[in-house]
Chains A and B, each alone.
Chain A
Amino acid sequence: MARVLVQLKLRLLRNALRASTAAKVSFIISTAAAALVAAGAFTLLALLRGQPAAVDVSTVLFTLFAFGWLILPIFVFGLDSTLDPATLALYPLRTRPLAAGLLAASASGAWPLANVVGLLGITVGLARGALGVLTAVVAVLLQVLFCIALARFVTTGMAGLLRSRRGKDLAAFMVIPIFALYEFFTQVVPRVAAEGKLSASSFAGVDAWLRWLPPGLAAHAVADASDGHPELALARLALLAAVIVVLVWLWVRSLGRALVTADTSTQSSRVRGAALPLARSGLRGTVAARFWIYQRRDPLSLVYWVLTAVIMVAASISTLLGRNSHPGIVLFSVILGAGFVGAFHANAVGLTGEPFILEALALRGRRELRSYFSGQDIVLGVIAVPLLTAASFGLAAAAKHPAEGFVALAVGLAGLGAALGVANIFTVALPYPMAKRAGSPMPQSAQGSGGHALASNLGTLACVAVAAVPVIVAGNLTSADPAEVRVPALLVCAAAYGVALAWIGVRIAARAAEGRLPELCQVAIRTKL
């Protein structure tokens, strides 16, 4: 059974590679990333040799790897068919051989190998003497086995949920912490390390409780064996092995249940209250009502708003860390925030997908199309203005230039107007189908539309930056004027300028869409969300 399932996994991979160039590119990138992680982890662990906090850092790294195994299967659930027990439920298989086969399938591939190779860096960094190295090898193998068992237990237990709509929503939300972590590691960690505030000794003592988690047991067993306490090392490895046995036992039980139990994890949601709010306010209100509901209920919309906030904070990270308090950074953050509000909505037809057909069948003429686009803009504005206001004043206060918050808000309002206007124009002029690929909870541009997506995203960001220039110039030219005159004038003029830009965008988009509705419908039909 193990051989059959390993072959199945390899065959699925091979077939996916044959299917498209994108899959080949994705495979090459994934393999390269696995090699990088292996080399990086090995080097990092090896460099710990002689460091006083070597065991602490090793424990943290082992725990991070386990955390990755816990999270990633939720993302790749749809990608790896061997993760879902339902795909094998129809075959006459006994649970135990099936479990062994699924474990073997999990252990095969570039990433498990990268884990083993990377963590073996502990043999250089922490292990001393033959006993230490031998313990390290056993500890790494047990750690990887623990990670695999943990991932299988989680995915099998959550299989019903992950197949459901709610599970897919949950997977979409996982993008937020991962993006935030990415920003943390690429923005915060290098800066803190460059200031000398982060070194191996910073981790001293952090494993006070991590050492009792299974990854900590593995790392500390190596330290114990190297320090001449083989009995302690053995006890830790035995405890880790016992945890693995319990985990596998729990997993086999849950696998047995998952193969024969109907999915009851999806309880359908009921909405409260009366139907569409604002719907009495004409077509514009009707479109705004639908769009407002989507901003609250659609995970993708929520993710976009949180990402916009994270991007603004990330762009000002040097200010927040107290290193650079130039007010220009606050302006940059706000422009970027407004730009991404536009970029995330610069393909509204593709994002709406097939339901756009229903709207296209009802929208008659340029006037109704103006109401359609402006109804969506009103909702985006209602959410974006408070967000930009909070960002402007919050970041300006962090930069110790609180008064600059008003200028930042003025720039943000102008940028937002430009973003909404340009987003509508790109929606009509450069629409492209979107697709949700297996393994990715977030929709991406469909195959062959990557250029369109890049052009409309970069185009929106560039247009927003250019549109904000007059407000920045006006802010600088009036910096010596009294604030009680300057601030209201600047805010009112910037807001009016932003509204004008948005309105021009609505008019251009409606005019263009009038003659292109069938083509927009075809983009909507080709979208698979």
Chain B
Amino acid sequence: MSEPALVVHGLRKSFGAKEAVAGIDLEIAAGSLSGLVGPNGAGKTTSLSMMTGLLRPDAGQVLVNGLDVWADPPAAKAVIGVVPAEARLFERLSGEEMLEYAGRLRGLPAAEVRSRATQLLDVLDLTADAKRLVADYSTGMRKKTMLGCALIHNPAMLFLDEPLEGVDPVSADVIRRLLTRFAGSGSTVLFSSHVMELVEQVCDHVSIISKGRIVKTGTMQEVRGGKTLQQAFIDLVGPRASNEEGLTWLGSSSS
């Protein structure tokens, strides 16, 4: 196994009495495309926020390419790219201006930023809309723009929180192909999702998080254990009790 690109030790976070992340230990190999899956409220977003320096943990350590995110934030920030769950973009910039702004904030030369922005807009199928305001973009276009902003400085590690939530199939395919290509070049991707099929298709590694703890982690084959990821996930996290007896009227089409 190659050197880990991400090492997480004892990461914890509580909000008042609620323990959102209850001590996470995780290692992600460099060059892998890894998924972090879990039900809603399992602690995925909180964990990713702490791994990327956006939320101060109560305890624990996060190393990206050996750089401590919380002891040396400037060094760690230089090697990571982040796509948050909600596309957080400047609405009154055009897509082209948005990418250029993201690149220039990262200290890239203007000519280089312009060249990379043009290529990213092309790959992300946004060239025709490059001069439209982000405010008028659809969800899929926003996600793709956000991905472009996260990639423009060519980070060694990319974090994505629910990257395909609310995205149409065509845009989803563009994002999926770009992530695969990015990981194939030796960079590392960790993304959270609760869509098992997507993770199963794209990822080579997967970690399952439930109630703020990693309950299983490893290669896709190891975690699946001969079942589908969906079944393995439900076996680990436990099915929710349901009571459908009250829906006797449903499907009668009488009224």
Within 8 A of B (CB), among A250-281: 266, 268-272, 275-276, 279-280
Question: Which one, B84-92, B179-187, B219-227, is touching chain A?
Answer: B84-92
Contact (Cβ within 8 A) B104 A283? yes
Residues of A within 8 A of B105 (CB): 283, 286-287, 358-359, 362-363
Within 8 A of A (CB), among B84-143: 84, 86, 88-94, 96-97, 100-102, 104-107, 110, 113-114, 117, 131-133, 135-136
Nearest Cβ distance between residue B100 and chain A, in whole angstroms? 4
Can you list 14 A-B contacts (CB < 8 A)? A268-B133, A269-B132, A272-B131, A279-B101, A279-B104, A286-B101, A290-B90, A354-B84, A355-B90, A357-B84, A358-B89, A361-B80, A363-B105, A522-B54
- Provide the B47-58 mask, 1 if CB < 8 A to any CB of A, else 0: 000001111100
Assembly CA distance A179 to B113 (angstroms): 43
Q: Which residues on A are within 8 Å of B, measured CB to CB?
A: 165, 266, 268-272, 275-276, 279-280, 283, 286-287, 289-290, 293-294, 297-298, 353-365, 517-519, 521-522, 524-525
In the complex, residue of chain B having the shortest beta-carbon distance to the beta carbon of A364 = B74
In the complex, residue of chain B having the shortest beta-carbon distance to the beta carbon of A299 = B92
User: B77 in the interface, Cβ–Cβ < 8 Å?
Assistant: yes
CB < 8 Å neighbour of A293 from B84, B97, B135 = B97
The tally of CB-CB contacts under 8 A between chains A and B is 105
Nearest first, the 10 closest Cβ-Cβ pairs linking A and B are: A268-B136, A364-B74, A354-B88, A362-B105, A286-B104, A297-B92, A275-B100, A271-B94, A518-B56, A280-B110
In the complex, residue of chain A having the shortest beta-carbon distance to the beta carbon of B113 = A279
Nearest Cβ distance between residue B77 and chain A, in whole angstroms? 6
Contact (Cβ within 8 A) B74 A361? no
Nearest Cβ distance between residue B164 and chain A, in whole angstroms? 19
User: Beyond the given A289-B101, A361-B54, A365-B74, could you list 11 further A-B residue pairs with CB under 8 A, ordered by the A residue number?
Assistant: A269-B136, A270-B132, A271-B131, A279-B100, A279-B110, A283-B105, A283-B107, A359-B105, A361-B53, A361-B82, A364-B73
Asked if A165 meets B135 with Cβ closer than 8 Å, knowing A355-B88, A357-B84, A364-B78, the reply is yes
Assembly CA distance A188 to B55 (angstroms): 51
Nearest Cβ distance between residue A84 and chain B, in whole angstroms? 20
In the complex, residue of chain A having the shortest beta-carbon distance to the beta carbon of B153 = A362
CB < 8 Å neighbour of A275 from B77, B89, B97 = B97
User: B149 in the interface, Cβ–Cβ < 8 Å?
Assistant: yes
In the complex, residue of chain B having the shortest beta-carbon distance to the beta carbon of A297 = B92
Chain A CB within 10 A, most for which of B82, B105, B113: B105
Q: Which residues on B are within 8 Å of A, measured CB to CB?
A: 52-56, 73-74, 77-78, 80, 82, 84, 86, 88-94, 96-97, 100-102, 104-107, 110, 113-114, 117, 131-133, 135-136, 149
CB < 8 Å neighbour of B55 from A268, A287, A355, A518 = A518
Assembly CA distance A301 to B241 (angstroms): 51
Assembly CA distance A293 to B96 (angstroms): 13
In the complex, residue of chain A having the shortest beta-carbon distance to the beta carbon of B55 = A518
Assembly CA distance A271 to B136 (angstroms): 12
Contact (Cβ within 8 A) B88 A518? no
Nearest Cβ distance between residue B157 and chain A, in whole angstroms? 13
Nearest Cβ distance between residue A389 and chain B, in whole angstroms? 27
Chain A CB within 10 A, most for which of B78, B104, B114, B131: B104
Residues of A within 8 A of B77 (CB): 361-362, 364
Chain A CB within 10 A, most for which of B88, B113, B117: B88
Asked if A275 meets B54 with Cβ closer than 8 Å, knowing A290-B93, A358-B102, the reply is no
Assembly CA distance A525 to B48 (angstroms): 14
Contact (Cβ within 8 A) B90 A275? no
Chain B CB within 10 A, most for which of A165, A276, A287, A290: A276
CB < 8 Å neighbour of A358 from B92, B97, B149 = B149
Assembly CA distance A477 to B211 (angstroms): 70
Assembly CA distance A75 to B26 (angstroms): 50
Contact (Cβ within 8 A) B73 A270? no
Assembly CA distance A298 to B90 (angstroms): 10
Assembly CA distance A524 to B105 (angstroms): 18
CB < 8 Å neighbour of A517 from B73, B90, B92, B104 = B73
Residues of B within 8 A of A283 (CB): 104-105, 107
Residues of B within 8 A of A289 (CB): 101
Nearest Cβ distance between residue B44 and chain A, in whole angstroms? 15
Nearest Cβ distance between residue A371 and chain B, in whole angstroms? 10
Assembly CA distance A519 to B104 (angstroms): 24
Asked if A269 meets B133 with Cβ closer than 8 Å, knowing A290-B90, A364-B77, A364-B78, the reply is yes
Residues of B within 8 A of A266 (CB): 136
Nearest Cβ distance between residue A7 and chain B, in whole angstroms? 22
CB < 8 Å neighbour of A362 from B86, B102, B113 = B102
Nearest Cβ distance between residue B225 and chain A, in whole angstroms? 37
Asked if A271 meets B117 with Cβ closer than 8 Å, knowing A283-B107, A361-B82, the reply is no
Contact (Cβ within 8 A) A361 B52? yes
Nearest Cβ distance between residue A228 and chain B, in whole angstroms? 61
Assembly CA distance A481 to B118 (angstroms): 61
Nearest Cβ distance between residue B98 and chain A, in whole angstroms? 9
Contact (Cβ within 8 A) A362 B89? no
Assembly CA distance A353 to B86 (angstroms): 12
